[in-house]
Amino acid sequence: MSFLQDLLKTALGSEASDVHVLVGMPPLLRIHTQLTATDYPIVTPEGSVRMVKEMIGEERFKELEQRRDLDFSTEVPGLGRFRVNAHYQRETIGIAFRAIPDNVPPLASLNLPEVVRKFPHLPRGLVLVTGETGSGKSTTLASMINEVNQTSSRHVITLEDPVEYELRSNKCVIEQRELGSDVPTFASGLRHVLRQDPDIIMVGEMRDLETTSAAITAAETGHLVFSTLHTNSAAQTIERIIDIYPGGQQNQIRAMLANTLEAVVTQVLFKRCDQPGMIPGVEVMICNSAIRNCIREARVFEIPNIIETNRGLGMNTLDNCIKMLYFNGHISREEALAGANRPDQLEKALSA
């Protein structure tokens, strides 16, 4: 077994979420948010180059040398897969691995609100899963697709950078397309995907105007579209999408978004204090008529209040979810306040 395979096997055995390889220090593991040094030897410049070439070969290594950054995936046979970013830093190569379990966890096992299990079964529209890097967005999306895969016969096409979870066709027919090897860009893949007879489209990230526009158009034409954004609330998500567009097009996109958006799920992962592991704090916005009117009429600032007053529909603000995690003994006060959108207000609620 090579040094690389042994390191990644150790990471999976330690339940590490990430592995960092930097020249001049031993590899580091991130276990339950904390970086921990390993007992492996200090990485040399030649060693980091050797590890990257083992994963991607000489030809793609030339691409890394030209671009100075490269995203791809690698696998430990029989154990699991990793999303990988290789990059130059101080003229040496650093490598960041994100662990991807070999099996997609059931949606019911992710400690998400019950209403989230309904979203994969929507007939059409746009569903967004948002949150900062490492908040579990990819896992939630994969679990949503897997939920459909167990229950209905639909054609699913994913566009990912890179492919993370391996989604095996069961009742659904699933095609996974990876940026770089299968498709040049998200926008290009979305332009052609409508000719491939999909029922469900999953876009790894709505990262620019062209991709965002194509995803919304796909939802508008009767497809169910899932995607992600790096935003921390439903209201911020809507503002971010609208702000991507030039000023002259923003009224039009408000109308399109009001018609197509079905739900926004915002996640923050917290370190548990009652047992080892992580637990999500989740905001859920479901687009009812009041939400759609707010989007259409540029009254996004009213959305948090609408979410708060519609808990009976399954909606919930992030801060209210965090409050319940704290009162139920799952997370510490420090964790709760650090993850809140309005920490001052939450602090008052926790002290009441």
Do 332 and 224 lie in one domain? The reply is yes
Residue 114 shares a structural domain with residue 92: no
Q: Which of 69, 101, 133 is the last residue of a domain?
A: 101
- Identify the domain containing residue 96 by its residue range: 3-101
Q: Are residues 63 and 170 in the same domain?
A: no
Residue 337: predicted pLDDT: 96
Quote the pLDDT of residue 8. 94
pLDDT, position 241: 97
Task: Determine the pLDDT at residue 32.
Answer: 82
Task: Examine the domain organization and report whether 206 and 300 are in the same domain.
Answer: yes
CA 93 to chain centre: 26
Q: Are residues 8 and 132 in the same domain?
A: no
Domain boundary among 101, 119, 137: 101
pLDDT by residue, tens only, the chain of 352 residues: 789 999 999 998 898 999 999 999 999 999 988 899 999 999 999 999 999 999 999 999 999 999 999 998 898 887 788 999 999 999 999 999 999 877 899 999 999 999 999 999 999 999 999 999 889 999 999 999 999 999 999 999 999 988 888 899 999 999 999 988 899 988 899 999 999 999 999 999 998 999 999 999 999 999 999 999 999 999 999 999 999 999 999 999 999 999 999 999 999 999 999 998 899 999 999 999 999 999 999 999 999 999 999 999 999 999 999 999 999 999 999 999 999 999 999 999 998 7
Q: What's 270's domain CATH number?
A: 3.40.50.300
**Residue 206 and residue 112 share a domain:** yes
Number of domains forming the structure of the chain: 2
Shared domain for 208 and 63, answered yes or no, is no
CATH label of the domain that carries residue 96: 3.30.450.90
Query: In terms of Cα–Cα distance, which of 183, 131, 118, 129 is closest to 157?
Result: 183
Residues 262 and 298 placed together within one structural domain of the fold: yes
Short-list 155, 150, 157, CA closest to 171: 150
Which pLDDT score, from 0 to 100, does residue 351 have?
Answer: 87
Instruction: Specify the pLDDT at position 101.
Output: 76
List all residues 6 or more positions away from 132 whose beta carbon is below 8 Å from its beta carbon. 230, 232, 268
Q: Which of 81, 101, 121 is the last residue of a domain?
A: 101
Residues 309 and 200 in one domain: yes
